[in-house]
């Protein structure tokens, strides 16, 4: 159960991290989509400014004054300066280019005023030179905006790779959660909730499998059934909570003194069973006495000393799960009848 809890904590942590990654990846993709959409508007507006300036200079050189066009260019530049068109540029490249464009545009307007006041060839030449500078600055700003957008597109493609990785991790998490749920359900079905030992259902299943192995390979198999002597008195004297504590303490004590290959299960209130593969009756009786003495000598928290009675039997040819179980139960009954705190062995098949 501790392993399941630990796995649950790890899965919860991983799931939370994955959700954070998916959320951040989703928000990042939305952010890039929004900014790329805005960048398209920026590039379009800059292209209009660049074309409008070229058209304005042509008009002015042939003597056509176009104040409306100047106002239109001023309005579009002011949209950038007033942040009415949002520029998403962390490095400030576009803003820097915008500053250069504003300076050259101001100088160009001064050249236009000079040309209108004195349409000399010298003023025309200055206008042409400054118009070339403005066009270069506006074109630089367009190219800078395009470069910023292209880098965002590259990051946008990277976000899809990131999303794909998260998707794979998500599938893995679903698989692990499914496995965790399966393990948890198996635990709840196969284990006793109080003592954490195997329960009656698993015992029956396990015993059936072991009998099949014994019949196939002609191996030994023994069973030890035991329960606590006068356990009702423990519950009546100390209460059921203390009784439960005794059951858990007894389970841990016995579990720690049997082989790893032996199976210990709780099959009733205070009734337990040990299935010992590859163990004949004589060895099982020795193991039974070992368990009995360990329990007898142990000081249990809250209640002090308790004893157990044990019934031992060995698999014989023709046995089934029911017959060997009943024989172990008969041996346990004999141990109770003969004074408790003892082990009895039943070797012949007794069916009630």
Report domain extents, the chain. 2-183, 200-346
Please pick, among 60, 270, 344, 346, the residue that the annotation labels catalytic. Answer: 270
Considering just the CA atoms, what is the radius of gyration of the chain in Å?
44
pLDDT category of residue 11 using cuts at 50, 70 and 90: low
Predicted pLDDT at 290: 96
The fold of 2-183 is: A middle domain of Talin 1 (1.20.1420)
Same fold, 2-183 and 200-346: no
Instruction: Assess whether pLDDT exceeds 50 at residue 352.
Output: no
So what's the pLDDT on residue 7?
61
Dump pLDDT digits (tens) for 209-250. Answer: 999 999 998 899 999 999 999 999 999 999 999 999 999 999
For domain 200-346, the CATH architecture is 2-Layer Sandwich (3.30)
Q: Residue range 38-65: average pLDDT?
A: 80
Check pLDDT > 80 for residue 289. Answer: yes
* 72 catalytic per annotation: no
Which of 148, 171, 154, 192 shows the shortest CA–CA distance to 38? 148
Alpha helices in 191-239 (DSSP H): 200-217, 231-238
| pLDDT score for 124 | 84
CB 61 within 8 A of CB 53: no
Helix/strand/coil for 159? helix
């Amino acid at each position: 159960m501790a392993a399941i809890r630990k796995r649950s904590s790890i899965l919860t942590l991983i799931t939370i991290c994955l959700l954070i990654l998916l959320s951040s990846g989703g928000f990042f993709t939305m952010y890039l989509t929004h900014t790329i959409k805005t960048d398209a508007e920026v590039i379009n507006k800059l292209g209009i400014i660049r074309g409008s300036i070229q058209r304005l200079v042509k008009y002015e050189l042939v003597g056509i004054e176009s104040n409306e066009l100047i106002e239109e260019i001023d309005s579009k530049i002011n949209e950038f300066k007033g942040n009415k068109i949002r520029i998403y540029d962390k490095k400030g490249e576009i803003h820097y280019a915008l500053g250069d464009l504003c300076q050259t545009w101001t100088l160009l307007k001064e050249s236009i005023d000079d040309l209108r006041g004195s349409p000399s060839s010298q003023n025309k030449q200055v206008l042409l030179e400054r118009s070339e500078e403005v066009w270069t600055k506006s074109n630089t700003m367009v190219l800078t905006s395009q470069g910023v957008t292209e880098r965002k597109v590259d990051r946008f493609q990277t976000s899809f790779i990131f999303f794909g990785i998260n998707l794979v991790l998500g599938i893995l998490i679903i698989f692990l959660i499914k496995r965790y749920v399966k393990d948890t359900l198996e635990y709840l079905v196969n284990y006793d909730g109080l003592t954490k030992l195997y329960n009656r259902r698993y015992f029956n299943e396990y015993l059936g499998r072991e009998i099949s192995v014994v019949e196939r390979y002609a191996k030994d198999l023994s069973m030890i059934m035991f329960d606590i002597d006068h356990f009702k008195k423990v519950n009546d004297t100390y209460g059921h909570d203390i009784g439960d504590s005794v059951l858990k303490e007894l389970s841990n004590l016995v579990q720690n003194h049997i082989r790893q290959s032996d199976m210990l299960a709780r099959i009733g209130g205070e009734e337990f069973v040990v299935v010992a593969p590859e163990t004949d009756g004589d060895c099982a009786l020795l193991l039974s006495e070992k368990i009995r003495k360990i329990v007898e000598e142990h000081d249990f928290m809250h209640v002090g000393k308790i004893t157990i009675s044990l019934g031992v039997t060995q698999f014989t040819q023709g046995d089934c799960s029911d017959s060997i179980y009943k024989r172990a139960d008969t041996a346990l009954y004999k141990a109770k009848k003969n004074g408790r705190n003892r082990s009895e062995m039943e070797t012949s098949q007794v069916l009630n």
